[in-house]
Each structure stands twice: as structure tokens, then as C-alpha cells.
């Protein structure tokens, strides 16, 4: 089996993980959570998002989170539009995530624009961010399936990825937004993307709705992917993707990879400690495999 010797984990728990949480998590808990995740060895992380608190109330303290948690690691802030990007540029942040869904229906539900309209709006924004020396991450939603349109042809995902690469983005985070992809589909799509777009960082982002996230990650490893978005505690879900459950749990992915001899640079005990900080403030219990085992077996 041809697998990478080292994998980079991009922690998305503080942003993607918490955005759909019903209980508002106090800012001091968010800060402790983020700092504990960094202490566990996670060097790249989505801290928060500059979105309207009307639509995503959990992110209403985004500015304070950024001010408290920015450091030398790659701290990514999601900014879906011009207003959000302007807010990022008023901070010391140097890593920005933008996003577009391959599916027009998803895009319309999410930001009230078609995919093409979103791209046109983002072109000058990405150009400005690059001129200012920012790292730009493009999150490609509904890369496999859409909750409104069903299966997405791989060619459409590739086409959108190509357009972002032409804009000059540094990274593509290609997402199975509703967790419907299977390992065969994951291997085929990421093999195609690796072959076609060799000069951009490719990251796989899987949700565990149907308990296939680990299998999809293994298939992606075999396709040559060595970067994965994961969420501590398996937190997550999307307010605009009905039925989507949490992301692949960071602790489960790290455990699997380390058992396979693949270095992640992440400390499992530190991860569990980080999840323990946020768990009492959530509306649901944490039931990911590794976390549950470590917190119930003495």
C-alpha cells in the first residue's frame, strides 16, 4: 500500500465544528479550546468566521477570538464576502478562507448567489488578498453530493477547482459536505485532482454522516492526499446542508494514521484534553470512538 509518511491535520473544530452548535459557547471556553488544540500540536486551524451573527450566532464573537488566538501558526479565518474580508484585513490575520459550492442550489441557499456569481465576486477579493501577502484557502462545498441536487459530476468539481487555481489560491479544501461520498468516489476524484492540479495544496474534508469518513480518508491517502480537515470531538454540521452531521473526528483520524505508521505531529492525550474543555458547553454528547474510549475506560 503506497501511503505518505507524514500527514498535515487542519483543525476545523472552532469554526466548522461550532458553527451549527445550538448552545452559545462562551468566548473564554472557545479561547481555551483553541489554545489546547494548538498545544496538542495542531499547526493549522480554522479559528472562526466573519459572517453575519444574524445567520450564524455562534460566530458573533469572531473578532475577539481572532484577537486572542492569532499566533505564528496558520490561523485561518473564513470570510464569505467583501464585508467579511474587510474585517479580516483589519486584524493581523494573514490566512483567509473563502468558499463556493459546486452546486448552484446549495450556493443560493447559503449566500443567495449562484456559483458563477460567487466566483465573479471573489476574483478581485482573492487578487487583493494575494497582493497583501495572505494565504488563501478555497473551500469547495458539495464536491461529491448536494442535499438539493444529488450527485455532483466530478467534472463540475474539477472545473470549479481549476477556476480557483487560476485566481491564485494557495489551497483547495474539497468537501464531502453531507457525508455521502464512498471510498471509490473519493479515490477517483482526488486522483483526478492530484493529476490535474499538481501545484496547489489539496486538502480532503469529510463529514461522517454515514460513518464513512475514515474509509474515505484511507482512499484519499491512496490517491496521494496528505492534508485533511478534521474536527476535534467530531463537531460539526452545516446550517445550509440538512442532514449533514459532524466532521471526521480529529482524534479518530490521528489514532488511525499513527497506528498505520503515518506521522501527524499531534498528541492524542492533548486532543482529548481539548475536547474535555468544550464538551460541557455543547448541546450534544461527544461519542467519537477514541474520545469515548478514553473518557469511559479507566
Residue 200 β-bridge partners: none
Which of 218, 203, 90 has the alpha carbon at shortest distance from 139?
A: 203
Residue 74 β-bridge partners: 44
| Residue 74: count of CB within 10 angstroms of its CB | 17
Using CB atoms within 10 Å of the CB of residue 77, give its burial: 0 to 12 exposed, 13 to 18 middle, 19+ buried. buried
| Residue 263: count of CB within 10 angstroms of its CB | 11
| H or E element in which residue 38 lies | helix 27-39
Close Cβ partners of 248 (under 8 Å, ≥ 6 residues apart): 206, 207, 208, 213, 214, 217, 228, 229, 230, 231, 234
Q: First vs last Cα of the chain: how many Å apart?
A: 35
| Residue 106: count of CB within 10 angstroms of its CB | 25
- How many residues are listed for the chain in this entry? 298
CB-CB contact of 96 with 85 (8 Å) = yes
Which of 69, 78, 157 has the alpha carbon at shortest distance from 111?
A: 78
Q: Is 69 a catalytic residue?
A: no
Residues with a known catalytic role: 238
Amino acid at each position: 500500500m503506497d501511503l505518505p509518511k507524514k500527514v498535515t491535520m487542519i483543525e476545523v473544530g472552532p469554526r466548522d465544528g461550532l458553527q451549527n452548535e445550538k448552545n452559545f459557547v462562551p468566548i473564554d471556553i472557545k479561547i481555551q479550546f483553541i489554545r489546547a488544540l494548538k498545544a496538542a500540536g495542531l499547526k493549522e486551524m480554522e479559528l472562526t468566521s466573519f459572517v453575519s451573527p444574524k445567520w450564524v450566532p455562534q460566530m458573533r464573537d469572531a473578532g475577539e477570538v481572532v484577537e486572542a488566538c492569532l499566533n505564528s501558526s496558520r490561523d485561518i479565518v473564513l470570510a464569505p464576502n467583501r464585508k467579511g474580508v474587510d474585517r479580516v484585513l483589519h486584524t493581523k490575520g494573514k490566512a483567509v478562507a473563502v468558499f463556493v459550492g459546486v452546486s448552484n442550489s446549495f450556493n443560493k441557499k447559503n449566500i443567495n448567489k449562484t456559483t458563477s456569481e460567487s466566483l465573479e465576486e471573489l476574483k478581485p477579493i482573492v487578487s487583493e488578498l494575494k497582493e497583501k501577502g495572505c494565504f488563501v484557502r478555497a473551500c469547495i462545498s458539495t464536491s461529491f453530493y448536494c442535499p438539493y441536487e444529488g450527485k455532483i459530476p466530478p467534472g463540475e468539481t474539477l472545473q470549479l477547482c481549476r477556476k480557483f487555481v487560476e485566481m491564485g489560491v494557495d489551497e483547495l479544501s474539497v468537501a464531502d459536505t453531507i457525508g455521502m461520498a464512498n471510498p471509490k468516489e473519493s479515490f477517483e476524484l482526488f486522483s483526478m485532482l492530484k493529476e490535474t492540479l499538481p501545484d496547489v495544496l489539496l486538502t480532503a474534508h469529510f463529514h461522517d454522516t454515514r460513518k464513512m469518513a475514515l474509509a474515505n480518508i484511507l482512499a484519499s491517502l491512496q490517491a496521494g492526499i496528505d492534508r485533511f480537515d478534521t474536527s476535534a470531538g467530531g463537531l460539526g454540521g452545516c446550517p445550509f446542508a440538512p442532514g449533514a452531521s459532524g466532521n471526521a473526528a480529529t482524534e479518530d483520524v490521528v489514532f488511525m494514521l499513527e497506528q498505520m505508521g503515518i506521522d501527524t505531529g499531534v498528541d492524542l492525550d492533548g486532543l482529548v484534553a481539548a475536547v474535555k474543555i468544550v464538551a460541557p458547553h455543547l448541546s450534544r454528547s461527544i461519542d467519537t470512538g477514541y474520545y469515548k474510549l478514553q473518557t469511559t475506560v479507566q
